[in-house]
Amino acid sequence: MASTGSSVAFDTRENVDLFVCLTENGKIARHLAKQRPKQPILACSISGQSVRQMNMVRGVVGYKIPQYMKSKTDDLINLILQVAQE
């Protein structure tokens, strides 16, 4: 995963198909979207309100993480990878 400061460098690489952000309030996804990458951004959050707000940002697709997955790191990563492949 890359920090948002280096997103411009990743934007020009051919092998990046999707940016994935884990965020509570959507700030990371909005900051990354300001860089206008060609690739879509998958923003994952436990907060339903944050997901709805992220869906309003250009190039960002919000995904609501189930609350019970918050403490299950390995399962959470597998779930996000599965969603990203769809």
Domain count, the chain: 1
pLDDT of residue 1: 46
What is this structure's pTM? 0.75
pLDDT of residue 64: 93
Kindly report the CATH number assigned to the domain that includes residue 64: 3.40.1380.20
Contacts of 45 (CB under 8 A, 6+ apart): 22, 23, 24, 25, 26, 51, 54, 62, 63, 64, 65
pLDDT of residue 84: 81
Domain containing residue 52: 4-85
List the pLDDT tens digit at each of the 86 positions of the chain: 444 555 455 555 567 788 988 888 989 999 999 988 888 999 999 999 999 999 999 999 999 988 887 778 788 888 888 888 87
